[in-house]
Amino acid sequence: MKLALATLLVAACDAQVGAGYAGPPLAQLTGTAAGFGPADVVDAAAVRWNPQRGTDLTVGPREALPIESAPPSSLRVLVLGEPPDDAYFGFDGEAARLAEGALLLTRDGAVVGEAIDEVLVYVEGEVAPGSLAASYLGDTLAPGFHLLDQRATAELTPAQAALAARCGGGEACRVPRLYRLVATPADLATEVVFFRTFTP
């Protein structure tokens, strides 16, 4: 399906990097804005981590990410560090820890856009073949950052079933986890489409 893309104004020409900038980014993502008007402005991106706790998977820690403009409607998102410790989750008896985050666009801290189909994932440690971590990721991914597709499912995957049981079971724990992650052929080079999520 073709998307009507409008010019997106980024509130700076250079990356918005604070005084604590520690060096080159660990990952760089390329994005396109969809549904934004010519007067719309964003000043940062963000990642909202999903630590897989409880029934609401949208209440994890959120981190701002600097952006660079790439006219007319594209932008680059810079990931400068690893996820915070409270973003990680894992599976009993397995060495790997995972972090999964939704990618957002913001203006003055408010969310104005979101990537619907892609999520940013960080793998810490080795993912063993046949493990629940591999089930969750859809593959035995190497340590580091990855960009994965998120797809709805009718039934829980084995990994999501384990997380739903840890949550306490029942529909409130099951329904938010009816999805699976799928590796993208281009991984971090996949273009992220950010959809406008606010009404003026």
In a domain, 115, yes or no: yes
pTM passes above 0.85: yes
Cβ neighbours, 10 Å, residue 167: 18
In a domain, 4, yes or no: no
Q: What is the pLDDT of residues 39-98, one digit of tens each?
A: 888 889 999 999 999 999 999 999 999 998 765 568 899 999 999 999 999 999 999 999
Q: How far apart are CA 85 and CA 4, in angstroms?
A: 38
Domain of residue 182 covers 9-15+25-196
Number of domains in the chain: 1
In a domain, 174, yes or no: yes
Q: How many CA atoms lie within 13 A of 36 on its CB side?
A: 26
- Contact criterion met (CB below 8 Å) for 53 and 177: no
